[in-house]
Amino acid sequence: MTRLIFLGAPGAGKGTQAQLLAQSCGIAHISTGDILRAEVKAQSELGLKARSNMDKGELVPDSLLLDMIRGRLSQADAVSAGWILDGFPRNVAQAEFLDRLLTDIGQKCDLAIDLHVPQERLVERLLNRATIQNRPDDTEEVIRRRLVVYEEQTAPLIDYYQLEGILRSVDGDRELAEVTHHLEALVK
């Protein structure tokens, strides 16, 4: 059974690689963005609370996000086959919560994988994605701000998982198939 956390700056390819690897390994791809959208669509209690925040342009509080993660990790496919967390944890406090949650539900994370891509390449990728997906609000200024926020809030997770002895860094600045092949070799 494989249980992974994907780390990396916006544009590093976490979502794409997580989907490909989850499919290849037959494990659950757990994206916090997908969970939020599904909960809102289902109009669950958590979804209604999350939507209230989202409609005000506010971030969804950690407490709601943590409840959603707890619920998703307890579902049959994640319990029996394993999982990849994509987009969670986003800070050390969330990582500490995840450690406690995994202990509570009798699971553990095998690896935290950091997809590393140089900043200028990330900007290039995100500007290209903004053009392709017709997202005019993703300007270079906004993208660079997102990268600063990542460095401040999420990058400390690299040290956190390094200290736990489960961090593996992968060069994400290669062809898609090459990165996928490297990840498959790492987890099999």
Q: Which residues are catalytic?
A: 14, 90, 129, 135, 146
- Among residues 115, 113, 121, 108, which one has the least CA distance to residue 168? 113
Q: Determine the Cα–Cα distance for residues 25 and 128; give it in Å rounded to an integer.
A: 29
- Cβ distance 173 to 118 under 8 Å? yes
Determine the distance from the C-alpha atom of residue 168 to the mean position of all C-alpha atoms in its chain, rounded to a whole number: 15
Compute CA distances 94 → 51, 56, 176, whole Å.
Answer: 21, 23, 29
Q: Determine the Cα–Cα distance for residues 54 and 32; give it in Å rounded to an integer.
A: 14
